[in-house]
Amino acid sequence: MTDRSLPPAPVPDAILEASLYAQDLDSARIFYGGVLGLTEVVYAEGRHVFYRVGPTILLIFNPDATAQGSTDPAMPVPGHGAHGPGHLCLSATPDQIDTWRTRLIATGHQIDADFQWPNGARSLYVRDPAENSLEFAEPRLWG
């Protein structure tokens, strides 16, 4: 990257979209919309459901439906689609992590882990219905 003809890389100020994959979108909606109470912004039956989380849109795709890209020449969205458990972490205060724990246990979810990192930040882990590892953690985890 020492080519002097290269323009400097911009500094992105946010991740605009982060993705998880779930073949069963009905179960994903019950979990992310119902249990987690996230705000749904788009739902396309059998293909995807999207939620707003601060400056980021959380995209949950059925990988079997998105593996092939769009055939619309005006909007040729490339294909993608992963299988196996992914990972996402929602920012949370200590009080919010307590609330998430109570809410998740009350709705029948097993807590995979709940511990403090060496810097004192707490992380709580559960599985979503597609077995993705979902974490709730204090942002001070990352300084």
Q: Does 17 bind a second copy (CB under 8 A)?
A: yes
Tokens 């077995």 — which residue? 131
Q: Does 120 bind a second copy (CB under 8 A)?
A: no
Distance between CA 79 and CA 68 in Å, rounded? 5
Q: Does 94 bind a second copy (CB under 8 A)?
A: no
Identify which of residues 43 and 141 has a Cβ nearer to a second copy in the complex: 141
Q: Provide the 3-class DSSP secondary structure of residue 25.
A: helix
| Contact positions with a second copy (CB under 8 A) in 23-52 | 34-38, 41, 52
Distance between CA 68 and CA 135 in Å, rounded? 30
| Contact positions with a second copy (CB under 8 A) in 49-88 | 52-59, 61, 63, 67, 74-88
Tokens 């969205």 — which residue? 77
Shortest distance in whole angstroms from residue 45 CB to a second copy = 20
